[in-house]
Amino acid sequence: MKINIGTRKSELAQVQADIVIGMIKEKFNIDSEKVLIETKGDRILNVTLDKIGGKGLFVKEIEYAMLNKEVDMAVHSMKDVPYDVPKEFEIVAIPVREDVRDAFVAFNNISFYDLHEGARIGTSSIRRGTQIKILRPDVEIVPIRGNVQTRIAKIEKENLDGIILAAAGLKRLNMENIITNYFDPMEIVPAIAQGALGIEMIKGHLQVSTIKELDCYDARICVDAERSFMATLDGDCHDCIGAYAYLDGELMHMIGVYRVKGKIVKKQLSGNKNNYIKLGVDLAKKILNDN
């Protein structure tokens, strides 16, 4: 028996699929094979995501491949997965989460905080750009898209002082050495589910119960809390939205950021981890009710 895993063609997406392939082999002694699928989000690189439809652009074609039985499952970056997963599918496993932080990359190794006035920072993320401007109102945000390597190349090509990327992706690509500095999640609130992988399958697939064993409960409830925050706000990449949930014993702590009536609001909340969905909802309501 062999499991076919649908994934995007980028090097990072393939590395993430390889991580899951390794887990499946180690835990169940089952072989898997990658099936590379180009998504709309990969094809259209000259426009920011919010202009062409948002997060689902990186998952729809892979879901079609599952429906057509071309692949058994998909491996996604959970931050690319819309909160309203189609009813035919489920996220059967979220393995142990990688670093949630955003990272600053500058070839000359100058820290973000030591950049000259008016420095040019590359990012296509409204969330990152908005929060960076709060820290450094003087910098210029330059929209850039493409895979990790393409964006790094644009530092020189577009005369940028640096770019912002997810630390998780750089670590998975063994490129942690190029990170100039990390942003604390309380300072630059991460994207919903940043650093987490999700394994998606059609409900009722023969392998669902097996693959569920790869689920990390702590990672799952933190990601689900963040996604409930996003669902309550009906948020996506069209605006500044971010959340981070983490555990401290039986407590879950959450921080969220969202734009309300033109104002960026950041709030924190803590509660029993068993109420993780409600915590996400309550944090969203607390932000909306900001006075």
**DSSP-assigned beta bridge partners for residue 105:** 163
> What angle (nearest 5°) sits at the alpha carbon of residue 100, between those of residues 99 and 103?
85
- Chain segment 142-153, per-residue pLDDT in tens: 999 788 888 999
Burial class (CB in 10 A: 0-12, 13-18, 19+), 30: middle
Least confident residue range of 72-86, 88-102, 200-214: 72-86
Helices (H), the chain: 11-28, 40-43, 49-52, 60-67, 126-135, 148-157, 167-172, 208-211, 217-233, 276-288
Distance CA 79, CA 68 (A): 25
Q: What confidence score (pLDDT) does residue 185 get?
A: 97
Distance CA 91, CA 89 (A): 7
| Per-chain mean pLDDT for the chain | 91
Q: Can you identify the CATH homologous superfamily of domain 1-95+196-215?
A: Periplasmic binding protein-like II (3.40.190.10)
Q: What confidence score (pLDDT) does residue 57 get?
A: 64
> Model confidence at 69, in pLDDT bands (50, 70, 90)?
very high
* Equal CATH topology for 1-95+196-215 and 102-182: yes
| Coil, helix or strand at residue 111 | coil
Q: What confidence score (pLDDT) does residue 49 get?
A: 43
- Chain segment 237-267, per-residue pLDDT in tens: 568 999 999 999 999 999 999 999 889 999 9
Q: What is the CATH number of domain 102-182?
A: 3.40.190.10
Distance CA 41, CA 52 (A): 8
Q: Where are the domains of the chain?
A: 1-95+196-215, 102-182, 216-291
pLDDT above 70 (res 114) = yes
Q: What confidence score (pLDDT) does residue 45 get?
A: 44
118 Cβ contact partners less than 8 Å away, ≥ 6 residues apart: 138, 139, 140
61 Cβ contact partners less than 8 Å away, ≥ 6 residues apart: 37, 38, 39, 40
Q: What confidence score (pLDDT) does residue 117 get?
A: 95
Query: What is the DSSP code string of 216-248?
Result: -HHHHHHHHHHHHHHHHHT--TTS-EEEEEEEE
Average of per-residue pLDDT across 111-134: 94
Taking residue 159's Cβ as centre, other Cβ atoms within 10 Å add up to 9
Taking residue 175's Cβ as centre, other Cβ atoms within 10 Å add up to 17
- Chain segment 39-65, per-residue pLDDT in tens: 665 554 444 444 434 555 668 889 999
Average of per-residue pLDDT across 285-290: 92
With beta carbons less than 8 A apart as the criterion, state whether 242 and 125 touch.
Answer: no
Hey, what are 94's tokens? 């979220």
Catalytic site positions? 80
CATH class of the domain defined by 216-291: alpha beta
Distance CA 65, CA 75 (A): 13
Q: What confidence score (pLDDT) does residue 50 get?
A: 47
Answer whether 0.85 is exceeded by the pTM. yes
With beta carbons less than 8 A apart as the criterion, state whether 47 and 19 touch.
Answer: no
Distance CA 144, CA 123 (A): 5
Strand 73-77, strand 2-7: pairing? parallel
Residue 287, CA distances (Å) to 68, 221, 270 in order: 42, 21, 14
- Chain segment 97-111, per-residue pLDDT in tens: 999 999 999 978 899
- Chain segment 201-238, per-residue pLDDT in tens: 999 999 999 999 999 999 999 999 999 999 999 876 56
Please count the residues of the chain.
Answer: 291
